[in-house]
Structure formats: C-alpha cells, structure tokens
Amino acid sequence: MASVDPKAVLEGRIPGRPPIALIVGVTASSLCALGALGVDAVYGGSGFWAGVVLAILPIPLLIALALTLDRLEPEPPRALVFSFMWGAGVAVLGALVLNTLGLLYVTVPIFGEVNGHFISSAVGAPIIEEPLKGAVLFGLLWFRRNEIDGFADGLIYAAMVGLGFAMMENVTYYMRAFEEGGTDQLQAVFILRGIVAPLSHPLFTAMTGLGVAYAATHRDRQILAPALGLLGAMLLHGLWNGATTLGLGGLAAVYGLNTCVLAVLIVIVAVERRHTVRLIERYLPIYADTGLVTPQDIRMLRSIPSRRAARRWARSVGGPAAGRAMVDYQLAATELALLHKRAERGVAEPRWFVNRRDALLDLMGLARQAFLRTPPRGDAPAGPAAGPPWAPRGPSGFLPPYGG
C-alpha cells in the first residue's frame, strides 16, 4: 500500500498536496469561535463556565448519532471537522453580529421593544442564521460536489454544521438563564435545549443539505433545489423560534412537526442505503473478471454486520494493517458503485470518471493483496471498463470466510 495514499484516493484529491484551503478554513473558523466565546466570557459573568460545560456535554453523543447516518460511505473526517467548526465559528460570530445589528437598528426602532424582539427571533434570526450555516454546504456544492454522493451526505454535513452552531449558541442561552434565574432556570433551559430538542439546528439545516445533495447528484434544478432547501430551513427555524413565545401549546405543536421531519429524514437515509446496496449488486459484478470482486465480496459489502465481520477476520489473519486494508477495500468498492450512479445520471465527466474508476480499482487491488497476502496474477483484461493494466484476470483463488 506504500505506493498509494488510500485517503487521497477515497477523498478524490491529489496525493501529497496539503489541504491548504481546509487548513485556512478551520483556522479562521476556530478564531471566530474563540471570538464568540470571548464575547460570552466578557458579558457572561459567573454563568459562563456553566454554559460552556453544559453546551459541550451532549455533543459527543449527538455527533455519534449523526455519524450513524454515514457508515456505508463515511465522509472525510477533515471535511466533517471543518463543517462543525464553521457552524461553531463563522456562522455563530456572523449571526451574533448581524442579529444584534438587526435588533438595534431595524426591528426594535420600527416595531417597538416587544414586537421587535419577537420579529427578530421569528423572522430575522432564521433569515440570517440559515444562510450562514448553509454557506459551507454551498461551498461543498461549488468546490467539492463530487464528495456529495446522495442525500445522506448532505444530511451529515448539515448535521455537523448545525451541531457546531447549536453548541455555541447554547453557551449564550445557558449563561443568560443562570444569570437571570439561577440554577432552576438553567436546569429548565438545559432540559429544553440539551435534552428535549438538541437536534433543532441540525434539523433546520438538513433542509439545505437535502437541496444541495439533490443539486450535486442531478443535472437539473441546480439553483432551484438548494434555494428551496434553504427556504425550508428558514421556515422550520422561524416556526420553532416563533412557537417558543406561544407557551407550551405552540412549543408542543412545533416539536411534533420537527419529530415528523426527523422521522422522514431517517426514512430517506434508510431508503438511500438500500439503494446503495442495489448499486453494489448491480455494478460491481462488472469487475468480476479483474479478480477484484467475487460474489462473496458482494455479499459482504451488502450489510454493515458483514463488513464488520470481514474487518475482524482481516485483523485476525493479518493484524492491524490487514484490517485497515479491508476498510480501504470496502470504502473503495462502495465509492466505485456510487461513481457509476453519478455516470448513470450524467453528472460524471467522462475523463474524470475513467481516472476516478481506475484509481479506485487500483486501491481495491492493493488492499486485496494486503488482506489476502496474494500477489496479482495473469494479464490485464481487455476493455476500458475492466480496470487498470495490472489487474489480474479470473478469480482470486482464495475466498475469505466472510459474507453469508
């Protein structure tokens, strides 16, 4: 595996090139997050540290739940970190500045103190915050659209940016609750925002994620789909903020709506996962003559438990390196099936498709050698779809004991 950078192949980037843009983005987002925390520390008093602790407390569990959406074809960790930090930094600091300016110079002067705060919360905040959160998704669509292979990818990025934003926003809410009502009010706000509705911001931004994912995987509605997604995010956000001022009845109604939205998103992910399995069954047999894919491999790739069993087997016979090679093989095979989906929908430029296909086949071959400990045999099969020149013809000659 020394001649190939598996991460670079799976992420579709040039090996050896430092991700300068990503490093700059994470650094800028981190500085913005520190700036927002600095503002809270100056004005938060004794409630600041309580707010920080309570805001961070549920985040590991929520991130783990979000990542369960992404087990068949995980997104690059560095991109997920950037999305989270964008939400926690740039989006939060931008919202803090713009919401404050809007409240002081627009809504309160025009509508008065009480109505101005309500309009700022129910109308102004969604219009400001959702585009700021969605900007990272639009950036992915513009610069890294090939990274988004379906709705689950759009949802995972939306979840990460939403969780980052919610964490930082909750610091402010918990801090204010402690200052205004002590531990009793802090407890009530934590139950609402940290336990009852911790996924509100990820749910709002998920609408943008759906629109961006559609645009990334289809040739039509390149502008309409993201615009409708952003509009849906603002509407859900506005309904939530508006309902919180209407007492328990309004809060219960919009909470029920959000629960229904969450259920629909889970169904979308489940349906798309089954579709990905069908893509694996449909396209990978094309490469059977290369010796890189056997019927048993396809059975293994169809389910998470079978993939997990295969990784355990590889580690047992070849140690950690073989286990990592099996992971690379599974991910490359899944990416290959999704690559064919992009080609089928006409969103894969032909030259890029060939280069991407051959790179994935190359990685699959080297990974297979690593966990089977068998060198490639035979001559390369003819035809452009058969794989790179080194690929062996015929079955591998050894079938590992995974699959069903």
Give per-residue pLDDT as tens, 58-71: 999 999 999 988 88
Last residue of a domain, one of 245, 262, 286: 245
Number of domains composing the chain: 2
Whether this model's pTM surpasses 0.85: yes
pLDDT at 213 over 60: yes
Claim to verify: residue 47 and residue 166 sit in the same structural domain: yes
Under a CB-based contact definition with an 8 Å cutoff, are residues 343 and 374 in contact?
Answer: no
Whether residue 297 sits in one domain with residue 178: no
Look up residue 209 and give its two tokens.
Answer: 């994620």
Q: Is residue 60 assigned to a domain?
A: yes
Q: How many of the other CB atoms lie within 10 Å of CB of 266?
A: 12
Is position 363 within any domain?
yes
Q: Which pair of tokens denotes residue 6?
A: 């598996």
d(CA 141, CA 310): 34
CB-based contact 335:367 (threshold 8 Å): no
pLDDT band at 382 (very low <50, low <70, confident <90, very high): very low
pLDDT at 141: 93
- Same domain for 31 and 167, yes or no, is yes
Is the model's pLDDT at 151 over the cut of 90?
Answer: yes
* Average pLDDT score over residue span 314-322: 90
Answer whether residue 181 shows pLDDT above 90. Answer: no
CA dist 366 and 362 (Å) reads 6
Task: Say whether both 240 and 372 belong to one domain.
Answer: no
- Domain contains 239: yes
Label residue 380 by pLDDT band (50, 70, 90): very low
Q: What is the CA radius of gyration of the chain?
A: 24
> pLDDT tens across 322-356, in order?
999 999 999 999 999 999 999 999 888 999 999 99
Same domain, 72 and 29: yes
pLDDT at 378 > cutoff 70: no
Separation CA 76–CA 73 (nearest Å): 9
- Does any domain span residue 250? no
Are 153 and 137 spatial neighbours (Cβ–Cβ below 8 Å)?
no
Of 43-52, 101-110, 138-147, the poorest mean pLDDT is in 43-52
Task: Please report which confidence band the pLDDT of residue 374 belongs to, taking 50, 70 and 90 as the band edges.
Answer: very low
Type and span of the H or E element at 177: helix 151-190
Q: What is the mean pLDDT of residues 135-145?
A: 93
392 has pLDDT over 90: no
- The answer on 202 and 298 residing in a single domain is no
Tell whether 237 and 346 lie within a shared domain: no
Tokens 């996924």 map to which residue?
Answer: 199
Q: Do 127 and 217 belong together in one domain?
A: yes
Mean pLDDT to the nearest integer, 6-32: 82
Q: Do 206 and 298 belong to one domain?
A: no
Count CB atoms within 10 A of the CB of residue 96: 19
**223 shares its domain with 349:** no
Q: To the nearest whole number, what is the mean pLDDT of the chain? A: 87
Give the other-Cβ count within 10 Å of 267's Cβ: 10
d(CA 68, CA 233): 22
User: Residue 244: what residue type?
Assistant: T
Contact 276, 73 (CB under 8 A): yes
Cβ atoms of residues 266 and 156 within 8 Å: no
- 387 and 316 in a single domain? The answer is yes
Query: Do 210 and 307 have their domain in common?
Result: no
Report percent pLDDT > 90 for the chain: 68
Domain span including residue 149 = 13-245
CB 326 within 8 A of CB 265: no
